[in-house]
Amino acid sequence: MKMYLDTSTSTTILRLDDKEYTWDSGKDLAEKIHEFIRDKLTENGASWNDIEEIRFMAGPGSFTGLRIGAAVVNALAAELKIPLYDHEGNKVQVILPQYGRPANISAPKK
């Protein structure tokens, strides 16, 4: 089974082979992303071990959403020992989020 995940906006997109699922994850992404994926795998009569490759929308997009999604797909690919691809189809060792702009870092207060 091929998996595609996009967490770049508040609406998470998950594709399992040719089926697409959306979820308005809002502020629940970190807490419920694994449950969302597991439930959709179960609906398809599959388990984590049935995932053969993962493709991830690396950005641009939400800073937090991309970090959470990248952590999930990097961990899954490493644990399941399966190939990982960015959204352009390039095989990668790890996903590095592409935020689309420099980080907005506040100056330290003294």
Cα 49 from Cα 59, distance rounded (Å): 26
Q: Tokens at residue 70, please?
A: 């990248």
pTM confidence score = 0.89
Residue by residue, DSSP assigns 41-71 as HHHTT--GGG--EEEE---SS-HHHHHHHHH
pLDDT band at 106 (very low <50, low <70, confident <90, very high): confident
Give the chain's domains with CATH numbers.
2-92 (3.30.420.40)
In this prediction, residue 108 has a pLDDT band, given cuts at 50, 70 and 90, of: confident
Q: Which two tokens stand for residue 100?
A: 């689309």
Supply the pLDDT for residue 1.
Answer: 97
CB atoms within 10 A of CB 26: 10
Q: What is the pLDDT of residues 19-69, one digit of tens each?
A: 999 999 989 999 999 999 999 999 999 999 999 999 999 999 988 999 999
Q: How many CB atoms lie within 10 A of CB 101?
A: 9
Place 103 in a pLDDT band, splitting at 50, 70 and 90. Answer: low
Q: In a 3-state reduction of DSSP, which class is residue 89?
A: coil
